[in-house]
Amino acid sequence: MSASRHLWETTLPRTPVDLPLSVDRGAPVALSVQLGDRLRAAMRDGVVKAGERLPSTRALARQLAVSRTVVTEAYQQLYAEGWLDGRHGSGTYVADLAPVPAPVPVPAPDPVPTPAPTAAGLGGWAAPRTPRAPAPSARRSGPVIDLRSGRPWVRDYDEAAWRRAWRGAAGLPPGDAPDPYGLPRLREALAGHLRRTRGITVGAESILITRGTGNGLDLLAVTLLRPGDRVGVEEPGYRVARNVFAARGAEIVPCPVDGDGVVVDRLPGDLRLLYTTPAHQYPLGGRLPVPRRERLLAWARRTGALVVEDDYDAEFRYDVAPLPALHGLDPGRVILLGTLSKCLAPDVGVGWLVAAPDVLAAVAGLRDALTDRTSGPVQQAVASLLERGDLERHLRRMRLEYARRRALVVELLGSRVTGDTAGLHVLVELPGHTVGPLVEAAAERGVLLDTTDRHHHGVPVRHGLVLGYGSASRSEIRRGVAVVAELIERFRPAAGAREAGP
């Protein structure tokens, strides 16, 4: 080893892992890149195995006689690529690097297929025309990678904060008369949270605690709608909203959306309610710009309609700061719904409804008559998480984590991706006739996918994949999205071939 090359070599400690590494200060390649390359090679060659723990950045920097920044940058790059997984409070681990299951041969699609007839979607609780994702067939081998939308990552949380919140809730006596508005302590904490994170100034008196968005929608439907009332829902849009309103006797009116969100100029003038997702349109991913927000509110005032704002995915934005909630522009006309299902966990079962006093009083009165309630101990635990700042710290940590996942998806799929500036999913638009075969082929390889078709009320007009990156690990995302990219190329129409229509 030449001294002029200034080569440092070290052996990682046996705890947590024993691995010879080296960096070369005389090389033209940055030290962090060298270290990343050596770690990547060790993991790829099986020298370091899935689940093994790597040294801390401080310990490895000391062993290599380099700055901690060098090790941190190398680890961050490997995190972004999916080679490493972090476990809160316990260190950095090698991710599951199992190879992607071998491809299953799929016949090439007919360049000019005859599309199968598609029935218009039915209102109410009718089953969707297409399944959420095809079930993996018996030929599939290897682990399942779930890239469907609407699922958050629930395996990285502050265990100490979680236990502390539930111990505190368990130490309180059970309540005997639930407040239909919800626990005052939680409503007060939520008022501060919404002011800091969503830019709206409301007091506890403007908030009602729900069990989540679905429960909030149902309470509004029971309180505000009469059989036959016309309710606008974005098309494509959130299927649960359509189902809830239809089940309460409303006539569902599909309202077109474009890349920015709901198209205000095409809204009818006889809607009782309009359900919309302005922060991150579901599933296309657009953000309703300020001029269109103003036109939407002008339409609502002119027609007398109420706007139900589902603040879906508003906590996670990656390009610029999120716009304040639409509710803040007209608290008397907009009803805001929020939930902890994406930012914390779906089974917590806590959400909120923010509305004008008369609307809130009507909802609370009917809720009391129906004995609909949110668990008191759960509300106490969530209040503790908010009061101590634990929830907002969790949000900041998860915003960085989801940003890395989003960057990985964009890196692998490139310009095919749209709607990637916020939330936990992206849109990959494809020719309509390729979507079904692609989803089936992906399922054969253990990758579960969601499509735009099931988010339509009527005949689908936008085709493609709604690719979720919330519930899979980064290593799974890397492998699963690589399968998707390969299949997109496989099912790409031949040059000069005419694509089938919707």
More confident residue, 7 or 374: 374
Amino acid at 5: R
The whole-number pLDDT of residue 196 equals: 86
pLDDT of residue 120: 31
Q: Does the pLDDT at position 330 exceed 50? A: yes
For residues 391-399, give the mean pLDDT: 91
How much is the pLDDT for 19?
62
Find the largest Cα–Cα distance for the chain.
85
Q: What pLDDT was estimated at residue 142?
A: 57
Q: What's the pLDDT tens digit per position in 460-480?
A: 989 999 999 999 999 999 999
Dihedral angle over CA of 19, 479, 340, 307, nearest 10: 150
Residues 240-286 pLDDT 10s: 999 999 999 999 999 999 989 999 999 999 999 999 999 999 999 98
- Record the tokens describing residue 482, joined without a space: 């690589």
User: Looking at the predicted structure, is the pLDDT value of residue 420 above 60?
Assistant: yes
pLDDT confidence band for 155 (50 / 70 / 90): confident
Q: Domains plus CATH for the chain?
A: 3-94 (1.10.10.10), 98-151+391-502 (3.90.1150.10), 159-388 (3.40.640.10)
Q: Which of 18-27, 155-164, 325-334, 379-388 has the least mean pLDDT?
A: 18-27
pLDDT band at 174 (very low <50, low <70, confident <90, very high): confident
- Which pLDDT score, from 0 to 100, does residue 272 have? 97
Q: Taking the mean position of all CA atoms in its chain, how far away is CA 316? A: 8
Amino acid 80: pLDDT: 60
Q: Give the 3-state secondary structure percentages of the chain, helix then strand then coil, rounded to 5.
A: 40, 15, 45
* Nearest to 165, CA basis, from 373, 343, 379: 379
| 275 DSSP β-pair partners | 233, 308
Q: How far apart are CA 222 and CA 75, in angstroms?
A: 52
Average pLDDT (85-101) is: 62
For residue range 189-231, what is the model confidence (pLDDT) as tens digits?
A: 999 999 988 888 899 999 999 999 999 999 999 999 999 999 9
At 108 the pLDDT is 36
